[in-house]
Amino acid sequence: MRQHTLVALARLQDSISRFDSRQPAVQVGRTLIAASQILTLTVTPWTRLTPQILDTPAAPICRGVTRPSLFCLTPDDQPAIAIVVALVVLAAVCAGVVPRVTGLAHAWVSYSIAVSLGLPDGGEQAAQVVTVLLIGLTVADERVIAWRRSPAPAATSVTSVTSVTQGIAFASWWLLRLQVAGIYLHSAIAKLGVEDWVNGSALYYVVRDPSFGASGLVGEALRTVTSTPLGVATLTWGTVVTEAGLAVLLLMGPRARRLALTAALVLHVGIIVGIGLWSFALIMIGSVWVAADLPVPARSASDRPVTTMWRNQGAPRSG
């Protein structure tokens, strides 16, 4: 038992030592999330971002845990100040400027948007969690511009494989994968509790919804397809199966994760084209991109002595 434990620890140590978060996938994902937030803040009127919902006061609500929000630190009658600050941060994220710093700032802006503004979909709540987890990945990135090619990692030695920042980045990546997989699994399971999703008719009503329904030529095509039992059932159940599949594939190996990224692109581009939820779609595509597309290089011959060392520690001594 101890032998197996030591071998497992050696493999984990090897994976951490070979993991490099300074990959294009991280910056692509951060950029997609930030771009979605830029579009939200620039295209949506302030009155739409801060509606009064039921009996609550109009947003932003500044009390308790929401006080550190960017939108609570500026004068109530000058929201443009907070918006400009947020846009500067988000533009810096898209440009890849000093990821160690902008990773923290991006999480703060995402938190501020999620807790202070009234938004119709859950994309901003997902962005709030994902950008916090991305801090663990960006803290290991010492580059000035994240779009530049990362330097070749130094040769791994027995004493350097447990780098603190590499360990934080590796753990954050796994937490991100679990979080994104959990979002899709929760969405798929929740749909099974709604009769229209179970009987395969949900998309019939979605594409005809007066607020989010499809319009134009795309709307006509979708209404035609969903007018047939086979068409509406395929789209409805296909959505549930895709979400459940994403939850599983994101926790598997590189090939499965690449398939997950392809499935996420098809699903969310379809959502953008069909019903126009581009903000949510871009955030989820960005999240899946980071979760799915970070490679862990294959173990090289130089890593074998590390594993051997762990194994030897568990071997019985003679004499």
Closest CA to 79 of 69, 89, 94: 69
- Tracing tokens 């000058």 back to the chain, one arrives at 78
Q: How high is the pLDDT of residue 198?
A: 92
Q: Are 143 and 99 in contact (CB under 8 A)?
A: yes
Environment class of 220 (CB within 10 Å of its CB; exposed 0-12, middle 13-18, buried 19+): exposed
Q: How high is the pLDDT of residue 307?
A: 45
* Structure tokens given for 9: 């620890």
| 51, 57, 59, 99, 118 from 54: Cα distances, Å | 10, 8, 12, 39, 12
pLDDT tens, position by position, 117-134: 876 568 889 999 999 999
* Structure tokens given for 212: 């989010």
96: alpha, beta or left? (left if phi > 0; alpha if psi -120 to 50)? left
SS3 291: helix
The pLDDT tens digits along the chain (319 residues) read: 677 677 667 777 767 777 777 889 999 999 999 999 999 999 888 878 877 776 666 678 788 888 899 988 888 778 889 999 999 999 999 999 999 999 999 999 999 999 888 765 688 899 999 999 999 999 888 899 999 887 655 444 433 434 788 888 889 999 999 999 999 999 999 999 999 999 999 998 888 887 776 778 888 898 899 899 999 999 999 999 999 999 999 999 989 999 999 999 999 999 888 888 888 999 999 999 999 987 665 555 444 444 444 444 444 444 4
For residues 87 and 77, give the distance between their C-alpha atoms in angstroms, rounded to a whole number. Answer: 18
Q: How high is the pLDDT of residue 215?
A: 74
* Structure tokens given for 71: 């939108």
